[in-house]
Amino acid sequence: ETGVTQSPTHLIKTRGQQVTLRCSSQSGHNTVSWYQQALGQGPQFIFQYYREEENGRGNFPPRFSGLQFPNYSSELNVNALELDDSALYLCASSTAGTSGGYNEQFFGPGTRLTVL
Amino acid sequence: GQNIDQPTEMTATEGAIVQINCTYQTSGFNGLFWYQQHAGEAPTFLSYNVLDGLEEKGRFSSFLSRSKGYSYLLLKELQMKDSASYLCAVRDSNYQLIWGAGTKLIIKP
């Protein structure tokens, strides 16, 4: 158990719908990163939030958006869902945004999104 | 572009030793991580290398050569529970993690 929680565990949506995924970071962590992991692939970086500001973004379209709240929990919103958005969505919390050092990321259990 | 290469799948015998290789080409380098991921679960941290050389942690060791863009994860005294995917990830110049596709390790009795 990493102390990072995500909800919901599983979700089924249809093409064109919108979805919100939630993540509660580990106590003391101020940085949350979101990843998309397709079956049999490594995680793909979506974006990162540090102290409520987005401070890095991967190669994902604007219909992927996010928020971080004062308690450092976070949301991932995806609009206009496409079939290819079906994947495991992982959030990971850590202790720093852009500094170096160890800064291991602790992952939540993920949300399995299926788009029909 | 940024690229991380790992073998897709490896098979080893319980009690043996296995080495999983990772080569990378990234925009900058600020450390390399190895994670273990069991099917349907989240990745869990195994090791971190930022300087050249070997880092040992119980049955697991990780090696890094920055000049060669190369790392390996060495697993000793393999156990059935080690059957999982092993993910190599590099932190780039923007301090973002770039991930390989993972190596599925199958342990046979």
**Residues B12-63: tens digit of each pLDDT:** 999 999 999 999 999 899 999 999 999 888 899 999 999 999 999 899 999 9
Q: How far is CA A95 from CA A9, A27, A90, A99, B68, in A?
A: 25, 10, 17, 9, 30
Chain A residues inside the 8 Å CB shell of B102: 40-42
Q: Given CB atoms, is A20 within the 8 Å cutoff of chain B?
A: no
Q: Over the stretch A23-68, which tens digit does the pLDDT of each residue have?
A: 999 888 889 999 999 988 999 999 999 888 998 899 999 999 999 9
Distance from C-alpha of A74 to C-alpha of A85, rounded to nearest angstrom: 19
B94 pLDDT band, cuts 50/70/90, is: confident
Q: What is the mean pLDDT of chain A?
A: 90
The pLDDT score that the predictor gives to residue B69 is 96
CB contact under 8 A, B99 and A42: yes
Place of tokens 């319980």: B14
Decide if pLDDT at B102 tops 90: yes
- Candidates B22, B96, B103, B104: best to mutate against A (most CBs of A within 10 A) is B96
Distance from C-alpha of B62 to C-alpha of B46, rounded to nearest angstrom: 9
Distance from C-alpha of B17 to C-alpha of A29, rounded to nearest angstrom: 36
Q: Given CB atoms, is B52 within the 8 Å cutoff of chain A?
A: no
The pLDDT score that the predictor gives to residue A3 is 86
Chain B, 63 to 102: residues with Cβ < 8 Å from chain A are 87, 89, 94-102
Distance from C-alpha of A14 to C-alpha of A64, rounded to nearest angstrom: 16
Of chain B, the percentage scoring pLDDT greater than 90 comes to: 86
Distance from C-alpha of B62 to C-alpha of A67, rounded to nearest angstrom: 35
Average confidence (pLDDT) over A59-86: 95
Distance from C-alpha of B33 to C-alpha of B20, rounded to nearest angstrom: 13
